């Protein structure tokens, strides 16, 4: 589906990159040399700027397509199980982000909080989980987004991934988290503006809002009830695993903790609540296109590109250009967040363990880790036969394994270090194989069981070992 020529595709990519560089030059123009500025923007980000940045980071490029795909294939039921957990997890996370910021007002990373509370070995597990997620998330964005851009423009997959990684790397390298937040704000505004402009227009040309109402049950018309009929199947096969994965999302992602540490202390919770509201606009708008496709009985050859199919069918060809800009915004907003996240983990946590704390070394290492992540993820994304599923299995299970230990660690003061360590290992070593087997074989019961086991086993181990361990021993940190 080459809707644009190769030259048009390159022109749009270059224009997009130039816009992001210009925004960085205007609003984050200083070549940051202090740790406080580069990693947490001097902790001065307001709630609205932070809220837009969080929402843009949470969107991901695939999320721009999933809502429309679910609306087309599974109607209002599929949209519900994609949208509600996405919004709800940001609302829930707001309380935890505020609490961690109060406990560690001068912190930089959540793994730093874990290091202070527990031991080096637990800290190592969290570094593995948070770093692994940043690398795999970056690679997934390149895999998914690069494939779509390549299909739209005819540009080769490798050049597309290199260009996207370079755009995010260049401006993040200059100003760190400040550049990420400034460009995130613009990217989120652009995504919403394109959505509000194109979606009502496309629906009007498709036959009006009545077509949307006709498509609420999906293409088959049978997905109308959340907990009965075909809707029950969606709940079991999609709703449960996705809800677990999404709830674990911000808790296991340094990108969101970094924004909590960058936001003004008294506005942290407000920022995340605003981000939930801002984010919700996007899946709702995209879902309307999916309902319109279902209601107008469109035959979409590739359901994952439903929203694009509607735009092409009912709008002038030139509207593909702003759609492409919206896609690039969803892609790059996550790429720069991953770069900033890994920079804080590599510079603050690792250097602190080595006893190196001065600004010059910290910022230099932060930039080196950004380059390292971009190169590593490019290699991963371009491995022949590499699948999004493989990466999802790895980082999805990693972050689910730390969800309940993280929640328990934030809420309670007395938590067993041994319980946290062995609980996370248990979840990874047993939960990952079960979940992977279910995914590769298509066994829904195994997928659900693997998801539940990964989350619940780690939390159960933490609670059980803490309860059985004498208070003094449980409160002691193991520092070797």
Interval 58-103: pLDDT, tens: 987 667 788 899 999 999 999 999 999 999 999 999 999 999 999 9
Question: What is the spatial distance between Cα 301 and Cα 306, in angstroms, rounded to a whole number?
Answer: 9
Q: Would you say the C-alpha torsion 270, 272, 278, 280 has a positive or negative sign? A: negative
Residue 475 confidence (pLDDT): 53
Mind listing the pLDDT tens digit for each residue in 411-448?
A: 998 999 999 999 999 998 888 788 778 877 878 788 77
**Among candidate residues 283, 341, 348, 331, the one with its CA nearest the CA of residue 113:** 348
Burial (CB count within 10 angstroms: exposed 0-12, middle 13-18, buried 19+), residue 232: middle
Q: For position 393, what pLDDT does the model report? A: 62
Q: What's the CA gap between 420 and 400, in Å, rounded? A: 13
- The residues pairing with 45 across neighbouring beta strands, listed in sequence order, are 263
Decide if 1 is inside a domain.
no
- Rounded to an integer, what distance in angstroms lies between the CA atom of residue 303 and that of residue 381? 23
Count the domains in the chain.
1
Q: Is the pLDDT of residue 480 over 60?
A: no
Contact of 479 with 118, CB cutoff 8 Å: no
What are the angstrom distances between the C-alpha of 208 and each of 116, 202, 290, 439?
Answer: 58, 9, 14, 39
Mean pLDDT of the chain: 89
Buried b / exposed e over 260-291, threshold 16 CB at 10 Å, is: bbbbeeebbbbbbbbbbebbbebbbbbbbbbb
- Residue 475 in domain: no
- Write the pLDDT tens digit of every residue in 266-295: 999 999 999 999 999 999 999 999 999 999
Angle, helix 6-27 to helix 320-344, in steps of 10 degrees: 50
Neighbour-count burial for 147-174, b at 16+ CB within 10 Å, e otherwise:
ebbbbbbbbebebbbbbbbebbbebbbb
Tell whether 395 is covered by a domain.
Answer: no
Angle between helices 110-117 and 47-103 (to 10 degrees): 10
Higher pLDDT pick, 309 / 147: 309
Other residues' Cβ atoms within 10 Å of the Cβ of residue 222: 15
293 and 310 Cβ atoms separated by less than 8 Å: yes
- How far apart CA 37 and CA 42 sit, in angstroms, is 5
Q: Which of 234-238, 259-263, 455-459 has the lowest mean pLDDT?
A: 234-238
Which of these, 402, 411, 98, 111, lies nearest to 261 by C-alpha position?
98
- pLDDT score, position 118: 92
Report yes or no on 480 lying in a domain. Answer: no
312 within some domain: yes
**Contact at 8 Å (CB) between 344 and 365?**
no
Residue 282 structural domain = 6-387
**DSSP letter, residue 431:** I
Distance, in Å, from the CA atom of 400 to the CA atom of 431, rounded to the nearest integer, reads 9
Q: What is the pLDDT, as a whole number, of residue 383? A: 86
Residue 247: is its pLDDT beyond 80? yes
Query: Is residue 471 very low, low, confident or very high in pLDDT (cuts 50, 70, 90)?
Result: low
pLDDT band at 112 (very low <50, low <70, confident <90, very high): very high
For 11-20, 28-37, 171-180, 206-215, which range has the lowest pLDDT when averaged over its residues? Answer: 28-37
Q: Is residue 452 part of a domain?
A: no
Q: Residue 376 is part of a domain; what is its CATH number?
A: 1.20.1730.10
Rounded CA separation 10/66 (Å): 26
392 within domain boundaries = no
CB-based contact 401:428 (threshold 8 Å): yes
Predicted pLDDT at 238:
82
For residue 209, is it within any domain?
yes
> Any idea what DSSP says for residue 345?
I
Q: Helices 432-441 and 388-401 sit at what angle, rounded to 10 degrees?
A: 150
Residues in the chain: 480
* Helices (runs of H) and strands (runs of E) counted in the chain: 22, 0
pLDDT in tens, 35-55: 999 999 999 999 999 999 999
Q: Express each pLDDT in 350-390 by its tens digit.
A: 888 888 777 788 999 999 999 999 999 999 988 887 766 56
Q: How far apart are CA 214 and CA 192, in angstroms?
A: 25
The residues, ordered by sequence, that sit 6+ positions from 421 with a Cβ below 8 Å of its Cβ are: 118, 119, 121, 122, 125
Count of alpha carbons within 13 Å of 278, Cβ hemisphere only?
Answer: 29
Phi, psi of 263 (to 5 degrees): -80, 150
Q: What is the mean pLDDT of residues 150-160?
A: 90
Nearest C-alpha neighbor of 314 from the set 334, 293, 297, 330: 293
């Amino acid at each position: 589906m080459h809707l644009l020529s190769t030259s048009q595709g390159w022109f749009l990519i270059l224009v997009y990159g130039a816009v992001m560089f210009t925004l960085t030059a205007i609003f984050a123009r200083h070549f940051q040399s202090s740790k406080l500025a580069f990693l947490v923007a001097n902790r001065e980000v307001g709630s609205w700027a932070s809220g837009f940045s969080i929402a843009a980071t949470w969107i991901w490029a695939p999320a721009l397509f999933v809502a429309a795909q679910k609306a087309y294939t599974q109607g209002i039921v599929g949209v519900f199980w994609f949208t509600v957990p996405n919004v709800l997890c940001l609302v829930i996370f707001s309380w935890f982000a505020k609490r961690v910021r109060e406990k560690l007002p001068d912190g930089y990373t959540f793994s730093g909080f874990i290091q202070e509370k527990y031991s080096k070995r637990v800290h190592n597990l969290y570094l593995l989980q948070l770093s692994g997620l940043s690398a795999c998330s970056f690679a997934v964005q390149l895999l998914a987004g690069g494939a779509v851009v390549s299909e739209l423009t005819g540009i080769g997959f490798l050049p597309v991934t290199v260009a996207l990684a370079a755009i995010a790397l260049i401006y993040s390298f200059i100003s760190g988290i400040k550049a990420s937040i400034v460009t995130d704000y613009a990217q989120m505004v652009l995504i919403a503006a394109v959505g509000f402009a194109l979606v009502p227009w496309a629906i009007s040309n498709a036959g009006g809002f009545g077509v949307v109402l006709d498509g609420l049950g999906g293409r088959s018309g049978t997905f109308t009830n959340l907990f009965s009929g075909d809707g029950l199947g969606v709940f079991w096969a999609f709703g449960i695993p996705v809800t677990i994965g999404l709830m674990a999302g911000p808790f296991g992602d340094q990108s969101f903790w970094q924004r909590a540490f960058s936001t003004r202390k008294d506005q942290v919770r407000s920022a995340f609540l605003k981000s939930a509201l801002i984010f919700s606009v996007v899946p709702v708008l995209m879902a309307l296109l999916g309902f319109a496709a279902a209601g107008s009985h469109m035959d979409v050859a590739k359901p994952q590109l439903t929203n694009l199919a509607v735009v092409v069918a009912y709008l002038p060809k030139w509207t593909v250009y702003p759609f492409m800009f919206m896609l690039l915004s969803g892609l790059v907003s996550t790429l720069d967040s991953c770069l900033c996240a890994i920079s804080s983990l590599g510079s603050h946590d690792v250097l602190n363990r080595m006893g190196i704390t001065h600004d010059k070394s910290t910022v230099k290492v932060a930039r080196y880790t950004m380059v390292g992540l971009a190169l590593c993820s490019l290699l991963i994304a371009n491995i022949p036969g590499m699948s999004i599923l493989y990466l999802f299995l790895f980082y999805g299970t990693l972050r689910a394994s730390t969800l309940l230990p993280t929640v328990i660690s934030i809420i309670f003061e007395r938590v067993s270090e041994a319980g946290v360590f062995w609980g996370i290992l248990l979840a990874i070593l047993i939960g990952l194989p079960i979940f992977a087997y279910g995914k590769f074989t298509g066994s829904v019961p195994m997928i659900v069981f693997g998801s539940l086991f990964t989350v619940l086993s780690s939390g159960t181990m933490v609670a059980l070992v803490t309860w059985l361990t004498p208070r003094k021993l449980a409160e002691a940190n193991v520092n070797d």
